[in-house]
Amino acid sequence: MASHSVGQFVPDTTPESIRQRGVIWRTFWVMFGITILEFILAFTKGPYHINHLFVVIVFISLTLLKAFYIVAEFMHLKHEVKMLIMCVSLPVIFIIWFIISMLYEGNAILLVR
């Protein structure tokens, strides 16, 4: 806590504060827009017979995009020290391998059934 000094009150009318709140609300609208897109795709994939694999890839990509926005902006990680960003994001590589291997195993179980 050594680097923190006692803060002073700053009203919400300063340009910096307005800009930051603007970024926050803009991120919200981006997330909202992405979610609407997901819903539109969820309801048009049936009637329009869109290829299921394509739909799955789009859903996962949009979800990863939302995840990026939450972690980078809401959790402020984008503005932290590079090393901290890497400490948090690199272990996710293990998860990606976990996903690939377990989906493969699941399919293998199905074939045995």
Partner 1 sequence: MEQAIALEEKLIWKGGVEPLKSSYGKLMMWFFLLSDTFTFSALLITYGLLRFSHDIAPKAARVMVDGHEKFIFSTEYWPVPEHVFTHFPLTHAHLPLVFVGLMTFILIMSSVTMVLAVEAGHRMDKIAVQKWMLWTILGGIAFVSCQAWEWTIFITGSEHGMTLADASKVFGASLIRNEYGPPAFADLFFFITGFHGTHVFSGVVLNIIIFFNVANGLYEKRGQYEMVEKVGLYWHFVDLVWVFVFTFFYLI
Binding residues (CB under 8 A) for partner 1: these are: 1-12, 14, 17, 20-21, 24-25, 27-28, 31-32, 35, 38-39, 42-43, 46, 55-56, 59-60, 62-63, 66-67, 70-71, 73-76, 80-81, 83-84, 87-88, 91-92, 94-95, 98-99, 102-103, 105-107, 109-110, 113
Tokens of 76: 């402020």
Side chain identity, residue 29: W
Q: CA 111 to CA 113: how far, in whole Å? A: 6
Q: Which of 73, 62, 1, 2 is nearest to 35 (CA)?
A: 62
CB 65 within 8 A of CB 34: yes
Tokens of 1: 């806590």
CB 52 within 8 A of CB 31: no
